Structure formats: C-alpha cells, structure tokens
Amino acid sequence: MELSPEMRCWLAETASSFHGARRRRFIAGTVQALGLSQRQAALDLGWARDTVRKGRHELHSGITCLDNFSARGRKPIEVHLPSLRADICDLVQDHLQADPTFQTTRLYCRVSAAEVRQQLIDRKGYPRGQVPSVQTITTKLNDLGFRLRPVTKSKPQKS
C-alpha cells in the first residue's frame, strides 16, 4: 500500500505524541492495519524496526514489556570505586569544624575538594587516571553533609 506524504506525516506525528507501551501499541496497530512489514515501516515512516517488532509482539501476546529506564545513563562513581566514600570520610575527619555559632549541626570542611583529590592520590594510592574530578568530589562531600566554604571566625560580642 502506498502512503501519501500527508498520511506519513500524520502517522509520524501521532506516534511521537505517545511514549513507551502506548507508542509501541499504536505503531504495531498501524503496521498491522496497513499491512506493512517492519522494513517498510522503517523506510516509509522512520520507525525503528526493533520498536515495530516489540510492539507487534506485545500486540499478539497481550503482555506489555516493561521499560527499564533506571538502567540507562551513567552509573555513580561508587559502582566503579566502592571504597571512595569511606576514604573521603577518612581523609576529611581531621579537617572538620563545627559551626562557630553552635546554632546548627553543620560540619564545615577546612580542606578543598582539590586537596581531597590530591590526598586520595598521595595517601590512599588511587591511580591518577582513576580518581574522580574535583566537581565529583565536591558533590560527594556535599552528599556526606560536609559544607565546603570557609569558616568565618565568631566575632566577640561588644559589651
């Protein structure tokens, strides 16, 4: 079956308005109704053959496949370096200071993230290419509850 350019445009826009299983169900229903193959759908409508195949499988079996979006993306640094958090805590323990006003329970770190990175290389033996960036170490220090800003000295109250 030959599709007009308007029909192709309409089908592509409609499919892009759906997400996940609804999109696959629409694609599979369209391919089945028009009598297209996976290859024809890919060439004529720009749909991925794997998506068409998965949608047709879901349509015939009645089982909706789950999308594993949580497995996508970059893994946290702790996956590659499991002992990193403990090593950072160990290095920073000597440089912690409480809030000078004693109004909060925050801990201020008197060492910079760049210095922590250098100590990971020097004292803990991490290879230079394997140590995370300064920005990553800053993020991990913030996650651990350490604030990386200079501690202001408490001013004596005037009498």
- Is position 50 within any domain? yes
Sheet containing 107-109: give its strands across: 96-98, 107-109, 146-147
Q: How far is CA 101 from the centre of its chain?
A: 37
pLDDT at position 53 = 94
pLDDT tens digits for range 106-119? 777 788 889 999 99
Would the pLDDT of 150 be above 60? no
More confident residue, 8 or 110: 8
Domain extent, residue 56, equals 5-61
- Is position 36 within any domain? yes
- Is position 94 within any domain? yes
Are 52 and 97 found together in one domain?
no
What would the mean pLDDT of 119-139 be, rounded to a whole number?
91
Structure tokens at 154: 């408490």
Would the pLDDT of 102 be above 80? no
Helices (H), 63-133: 77-80, 84-92, 113-122
Would the pLDDT of 59 be above 80? yes
pLDDT at position 48 = 92
Structure tokens at 16: 């892009």
Cα atoms found within 13 Å of the Cα of residue 13, Cβ hemisphere only: 6
Are 143 and 84 found together in one domain?
yes
More confident residue, 96 or 143: 143
Are 115 and 140 found together in one domain?
yes
Would the pLDDT of 153 be above 70? no
Q: How many domains does the chain have?
A: 2
